Amino acid sequence: MFSFFKKKENNDNSDNNGKKEDLDLPSLNNEKEEDQVITNENTLEKKEDLKTEDQTISNGIKEEKSTNNSDEKESQKNFFSRALEKTVSNFSSIIPKKKEIIFFNEIEDVLIEADMEYEVIEQVMEGFENFISRKQLRDRLIPLFANVPKREEENLPKPFVQLIIGVNGAGKTTTIAKLANRYKLKNKKVLLGAGDTFRAAAIEQLSTWASKLDIPIIKTKQGHDASAVAYDTISSGLAKDFDNVIIDTAGRLQTQTNLSHELKKIVKVCSKAQENAPHQKLMILDGTQGNSAIAQAKAFHEMIGIDGIIVTKLDGTAKGGALFSIASQLKLPILYVGIGEKATDLIEFSADAFVDSLLDGIYLKDLEVNKT
């Protein structure tokens, strides 16, 4: 069964009246009412699906609500260790047995193997003597993530609007679902906007996730104006008191110039719908691409300015070291990493947990050192 909240209601928000005309927006008023709807579909079959999802979600809640700080840190470390398994497994051909101190050339080879850019490797290794301790290397690696911000979850604008950017296949849709699930677990009211109107499959795929997670979505037909979807999603978010609005965007249009124009327009339209929106422009990067993702991110950053990065598919790559280059070259924070295909497979990035998991692959842990 579908429940429809017709678009007209979305535009009842008096703050926004008139602004559409000023902007010469391709108003959805001219479109058939059913073209643009908030849908929320719950079939019996999907509720069954949710049971399994609920199971995972309830585990997620347990994780979120854990009051023990060291437990939380430990479980985050475990997530990173698992996600970096492929990256770390390659180190054993260079350093078969973990050590207390490691030869310069071996460290260099490990960093190359992990797909860290050579420029960054030079920066890390500069001034080191022949042998390097775990602490020495750690002290050089952690600052590469200097742009990781302290997130303030208090006093966020309502709704908090996030625009999700990235090329097709990077994991945009899945990551939107993961973020939405994360906010929902924190009892936030979440609304999605299917802004990749270039691909019918993108609208469909996001709708499927929305339905599975029982989260409403604003969508239109393929080929319709994406900025109008963004506008209506934010207007509806304001009118219906949503906490989080997450808007998808196209990853590809006929030309790069078209894409640039479309993204710029969406950003502008978002700010007309709500002051300072979008509050975060997040770039989704496919972790399996390693360093080649950097050029991609730079192009989008030049177009509209990116506020943060989410790296997907860390579980499926041996190129985990590329995160160092991504963060330091782009001078942007990595906010989350994707570690699987499920809605719960998104973890907050932690420089400490990430670096320690990598170092565990080559160095003895402090405890092990004391034992020897």
Residue ranges binding ligand GDP (CB under 6 A): 166, 168-174, 205, 251, 312-313, 315-316, 338-341, 345
Q: What size, in residues, is the chain? A: 372
Least separation in angstroms between CB 246 and ligand GDP: 13
Q: How far is CA 81 from CA 45, 76, 90, in A?
A: 35, 9, 14
Residue 76, token pair as written in the block: 């985050």
User: Is 279 within 8 Å of 160 (Cβ atoms)?
Assistant: yes
Query: Which is closer to ligand GDP, CB of 171 or CB of 290?
Result: 171
Query: How far is 107 from 137, CA to CA, in rounded Å?
Result: 9
Least separation in angstroms between CB 266 and ligand GDP: 16
Query: Which is closer to ligand GDP, CB of 16 or CB of 312?
Result: 312
Query: Which is closer to ligand GDP, CB of 39 or CB of 168?
Result: 168
Question: Which residue's CB comes closest to ligand GDP?
Answer: 338
Query: Which is closer to ligand GDP, CB of 7 or CB of 278?
Result: 278
User: Is 242 within 8 Å of 189 (Cβ atoms)?
Assistant: yes
Least separation in angstroms between CB 251 and ligand GDP: 6
Least separation in angstroms between CB 157 and ligand GDP: 26
C-alpha count within 13 angstroms, C-beta hemisphere, residue 189: 11
User: Is 10 within 8 Å of 175 (Cβ atoms)?
Assistant: no
Least separation in angstroms between CB 283 and ligand GDP: 11
Query: Which is closer to ligand GDP, CB of 159 or CB of 166?
Result: 166
The residues facing 280 across adjacent strands are 162
Least separation in angstroms between CB 315 and ligand GDP: 5
Euclidean distance between the first and final Cα of the chain, in Å?
65
User: Is 325 within 8 Å of 124 (Cβ atoms)?
Assistant: no
